[in-house]
Amino acid sequence: MSRERVVITGLGVFCGAARDIPGFRRAVIDGTSGVGPVDLFDVSAFPSHIAVQVKGFDPVAHFGRRTAAKLSRADQFGLIAAGEALGDSGIAGGYDSFAMGVVVGAGAAGMFQSEQWLAAALQERQISPSLLRGILPDKTSTVIAETFGLAGYQGTITTACSSSATAIGWGADLVATGKLDAVVCGGSDTLSMLTFAGFNSLKVVDPEPCAPFSLGRQGITLGEGAAFLVLERESVAAQRGAKVYGAVLGYAMAGEAHHMTAPDPTGQVAARLMHDAMANAGIAKGDVGWVNAHGTGTPLNDVVESNAMKRVFGERAGSVPLISTKPITGHCLGAAGAIEAVATMLALGERTIPKTLHFRGRDPECDLDYCHDSARPATATVAMSNSFAFGGNITSLVLGL
Amino acid sequence: MIQDTPDIVVTGLAAISAAGVGVEPLVTAVRGGQSCLTPVPEAIAGRAGLRWGKAEKFRAADFMPPLKARKFDRCSLLATVATGMALADAGVTKDSLAPERVGITMGSGFGGITNSEEFLTGYFQKGVDGLTPMLFPNTVANAAASNASIEHHLQGPNVTTVQRFCSAENAFQLACRFIAEGRADVMVTGGVDELTSRMLQGFQALGQNRSFAADYAEGCGLLVLERRSHAEARGARIMGEVTAISTLGLIPAGRESQAVSQLLPSESPKRLCLSGTADLLPAFAALLPDTPRICLPQVTGRSIAMGGLSMVALVATLGAGEQGLHLAASPEGPYYAISFTGGKPV
């Protein structure tokens, strides 16, 4: 099936590391971590007290009291990031409402508010039921569609940590095949007691800032935020003289069908995924300059992902840097794929391979090039961004200039 | 937005609903126009007069050892068992096709919520000592489809969607696209819903027990899709064909008539199926008044991902060559019109 090239004409981000694209570009290129103490809820009972939280966020200042009360924290972050992306693209008024759509990748969604209702219900305390309005993860897509008049399509992908990577791939499908002229796609997710307690209960949270691919790493650092991309067909974007960041060249997704939480230790399916993504993008292995890893910092994931890279790139694996931007942003779960896609696109544009922060020493099982020492200038015009999730839902995006 | 569906056919169906376990009880209830809704016990509802569509005849122990069933949440149990039923109905066994060519897309109604509630309840009541780590993995919305993929070794595209009352239709659209693009040869698609007493409490708190959450239901309805050429090559029974998918995200004020005409196919169907909240929308409910219609909210109940069961009911009751139209809506959008042509009635 012939597909027209899908270009990225707008970017938006709102997360613990930075609250707009210029700030996020600096954080990614300079390697500035947003990790700090959590004050959104009480974490004193857990081994880890840190995350990449959006600190001091005042929704009333952004939306006014009445609107803010109707939105979950995930809706609020999503609206801000999608608004930046749409404003950046300049498509307002450029297309009919029915020719534009929205695809959101979501995770815990409105759980931060919903769990407050549950806590009150358990104590038989009266509390506003409006806290439950965002419990379904589709709410963010609806408020974005309504706010910006995107009437052609509304969709929400909920595959945990790969949600928003898949949302970008699906958004690219919708415009490539002419079903929509423009789509805003990405993801939003926030910290919640559910996920903070959950990952801590599984003992996969590092008490120190996460250190992907390092010796002595103990797990993830959670984060929160939202990121969105505006996608259009190249010919249509060119007609209106749009600024173009690059392109979503292709993607693939798969189910490992192995285990709900553990990755397939052989890395076989992850390797097939990367092969399929490159094939879908119509590129060869030699075209890929570097890979933005899922790179959570858990002992097992980082080894499996490194092994999958070896299966894909063979002898060349050591010369394809496998980096992780999660030490900068934290693991933003449902929004991770989109935040990392934006980071990848910005780094490609700056001709820089970002540094993987918080190096603690070389792990003999992680023996590839992770850019632990410093960010690096690069001529690469193509990079991949991997997102792996609970349930074995894995997605790989291929992005290019 | 209209998506063409190049020769995609339905080769398998599965249903678990308030009507019973299997497609036949659902078809019998639809044809007989009987309601399978039952009263919600007052102890749960807090008052009399509420009904629900509980899949009371579904017992996991009928399909797997009890010890194994215990590791699943109810949503995952429904999805895992129904996936097995759908694949068996399509004649797909674990070894008959390459696992990476068989995928699953599923709309999920409150998937993961039961485990989230149980996990958080432990924490809120007992602090860290009340945490049950084994509950946490199944708090994600994709737990149902992913557990089904693990159980049946489906390594193709695996996506869960949530889009209010069009969650299953959204998943169905992805499945058709993945087949059209060659990402998979066979896709299991549809929707799964669970229903708990805590959910009813939440609906009541929001005042939705008298509106969209009235007669709320649980269950799972799945279809197996593939290209006609692929189905014919493996000698599969063709139960229907997907002829068109049309969707809109929302309907801007003042553009209602344009939206409806853009959404609906030009040909009048022989059978209409109203899903989600389409039966509550005058523009849809008044369509084709003389056309036989299926309206599952009145039969097995209304739920977020009920589109799976609705599409199963439609395909299962279409005569050979008959045109059927599945219309689905959600209060804030989206809207879907999916056209089927009947193969052989079940």
pLDDT tens digits, one per residue of A196-221: 999 999 999 999 999 999 999 999 99
Q: Which residues contact B21 (CB under 8 A, 6 or more apart)?
A: B15, B55, B57, B58, B62
Whether residue A371 has pLDDT greater than 60? yes
In the prediction, which pLDDT does A201 show? 97
The packing angle between helices B197-205 and B113-126, to 10°, is 90
Report the alpha-carbon distance of residue B316 to residue B86 in Å, rounded.
Answer: 13
Which of the four pLDDT bands, split at 50, 70 and 90, describes residue B344?
Answer: low
CB A156 within 8 A of CB A138: yes
Sign of the C-alpha dihedral computed for residues B248, B250, B256 and B258 taken in this order: negative
Q: Which of B158, B196, B258 to mutate to test the interface with A (most CBs of A within 10 A)?
A: B158
Distance, C-alpha B187 to centroid of its chain: 14
Q: What is the pLDDT of residues A237-264, one digit of tens each?
A: 999 999 999 999 999 999 999 999 999 9
> What's the sign of the alpha-carbon dihedral A59, A60, A64, A69?
positive
| Mean of pLDDT values over B165-177 | 98
How sure is the predictor about B292, in pLDDT bands with cuts at 50, 70 and 90?
Answer: very high
Partner-chain contact A260 B201, CB within 8 Å: no
Q: Which long-range contacts (CB under 8 A, 24 or more apart) does A170-175 make?
A: A170/A103, A170/B159, A170/B174, A171/A101, A171/A103, A171/A229, A171/A231, A171/A248, A172/A6, A172/A231, A172/A248, A172/A250, A172/A251, A173/B177, A173/B181, A174/A101, A174/A103, A174/B1, A175/A6, A175/A231, A175/A232, A175/A233
Alpha helices in chain B (DSSP H): 23-32, 42-45, 66-69, 74-90, 113-126, 143-152, 167-180, 197-205, 228-233, 256-263, 282-285, 307-317
Asked if the model's pLDDT at residue B35 lies above 60, the reply is yes
Please say if the pLDDT value at position A1 is more than 70. Answer: no
Q: State which H helix or E strand residue A186 sits in.
A: strand A182-189
Q: What is the pLDDT of residues B85-104, one digit of tens each?
A: 999 999 999 889 999 999 99
Query: Using alpha carbons only, what angle is made at residue A164 by residues A162 and A167, rounded to the nearest 5 degrees?
Result: 110
pLDDT at B213 over 90: no
- pLDDT at position B266 is 86
Residue of A nearest to B71 (CA): A260
Is residue B241 a contact partner of residue B7, using CB atoms and an 8 Å limit?
yes
Spatial contact of A267 and A394, defined as CB atoms under 8 Å apart: no
Report which residue type is found at B22. G
Tell which wins on pLDDT, A134 or A189: A189
Residues of A in contact with B121 (CB under 8 A): 118, 122
Q: What is the CB-side half-sphere exposure of residue A383 using CA atoms within 13 A?
A: 30
DSSP calls for A339-369: HHHHHHHHHHHTTEEPP------B-TT--S-
C-alpha B194/C-alpha B68 separation (Å) is 19
What separation, in Å, do the N-terminal and C-terminal C-alpha atoms of chain B show?
31
A260: chain B residues, CB-CB within 8 Å: 137-138, 143, 146-147, 150
**What percent of chain A is predicted at pLDDT more than 90?**
97
Reduced to 3 states (helix: H, G, I; strand: E, B; else coil), residue B60 is: helix
Residue B204's pLDDT band (cuts 50, 70, 90): confident
DSSP B27: H
Q: Residue B341 — pLDDT band, cuts 50, 70, 90?
A: very high
In this prediction, residue A3 carries a pLDDT of: 78
At B111-122, the pLDDT tens digits run: 999 999 999 999
pLDDT at A140: 98
Closest CA of chain A from B33, distance in Å: 31
| Tens-digit pLDDT profile for residues A337-359 | 999 999 999 999 999 999 999 99
**What does the pLDDT read at residue B286?**
86
User: Residue A135 to residues A111, A384, B215: CA-CA distances in angstroms?
Assistant: 6, 32, 20
The residues pairing with B39 across neighbouring beta strands, listed in sequence order, are B51
Residues of A in contact with B117 (CB under 8 A): 118
Read off the pLDDT of residues B229-277 as tens digits, 9 standing for 90 and up: 999 999 999 999 999 999 999 999 899 888 988 999 988 899 999 999 9
Please tell me the predicted confidence (pLDDT) of residue A2.
Answer: 62
- A155·B170 Cβ contact <8 A: yes
| A170 CA: distance to closest CA in chain B (Å) | 8
pLDDT at A383 over 90: yes
Q: Which of A151, A158, A197 sits opposite B123 (nearest CB)?
A: A197
Residues of B in contact with A111 (CB under 8 A): 116
Q: How far apart are the first and last CA of chain A?
A: 23
CB atoms within 10 A of CB B61: 9
Question: d(Cα A168, Cα A385) in Å, to the nearest integer?
Answer: 11
Is residue B189 over pLDDT 70? Answer: yes
Higher local confidence (pLDDT), A258 or B49: A258
Return the axis-axis angle of helices A111-122 and B113-126, rounded to nearest 10°.
Answer: 50
> What does DSSP assign to residue A302?
H
Residues A1, B180: C-beta atoms closer than 8 Å = yes
* CB contact (8 A) between residue B141 and residue A137: yes
Name the average pLDDT for chain A.
96
pLDDT at res. A370: 98
Question: What confidence tier does B123 reach under pLDDT thresholds 50, 70, 90?
Answer: very high
d(CA B233, CA B289): 40
- Picking from B198, B132, B125, the residue whose alpha carbon sits closest to that of residue A123 is B125
Per-residue confidence at A19, pLDDT binned at 50, 70, 90?
very high
